[in-house]
Amino acid sequence: MNHTKNFNIFVVTDNVRHRLSEPSAMEIAEECLKRNIWAVGGYRKNYLLKENDFVIIYIAGTRENNKKFVATAEISKEPIVKKTEIVNKVWDVRISLKNIKYFKSPICIMPLLNELSFIKNKEFWGASLMKAVVKINSEDYQKILAYKNLELEVQCKNCNIVTNCKSRNVIKKIK
């Protein structure tokens, strides 16, 4: 059964910066990907997730790797309603994944904001990522992946980390 492949961003957040005893968004993502699954609290039919659709994993929140894309994957089976426990939290829906690939360096979203069409309001861009699953087009997917392949790493003023972004807010180039 062939269908047009969809492109999605799976968003995970740690939500609460004052609860450091809770798992970080990155810890949740790593545990999911280690088990070749993704889990969401509530599945909406308008997500329309299908086998072989493409996914980029995005870390929201306030802790490590926040505001960064960290991996890609493909959906290996249609989502199922099944309670799944991941790092002490129970999720309603399980999505099986395959071909999981971590980026060598997480990709900072900040320099991409003006390039991504799914972000309609550039000033309040975070609102575009306030869902568990964000539909994107193939062009946005390719723009994000293109940053993965840059040879030059820079220290980004927005993130204050060494990253592979092309931000105009570069503090210094790293050789």
- Domain of 95, in residue numbers: 7-150
Q: pLDDT tens digits, residue range 27-83?
A: 999 999 999 999 888 766 656 889 999 999 999 988 888 899 999 999 999 888 888
Cβ 132 vs Cβ 95: under 8 Å: no
* CATH code (residue 43): 3.10.590.10
The bridge status of strand 54-59 relative to strand 7-12 is parallel
- Looking at the structure of the chain, the number of domains it has is 1
In a domain, 172, yes or no: no
* Predicted structure pTM score: 0.80
In a domain, 116, yes or no: yes
Q: pLDDT tens digits, residue range 113-124?
A: 999 999 999 899
Question: What's the CA gap between 149 and 54, in Å, rounded?
Answer: 18
Question: What's the CA gap between 13 and 96, in Å, rounded?
Answer: 20
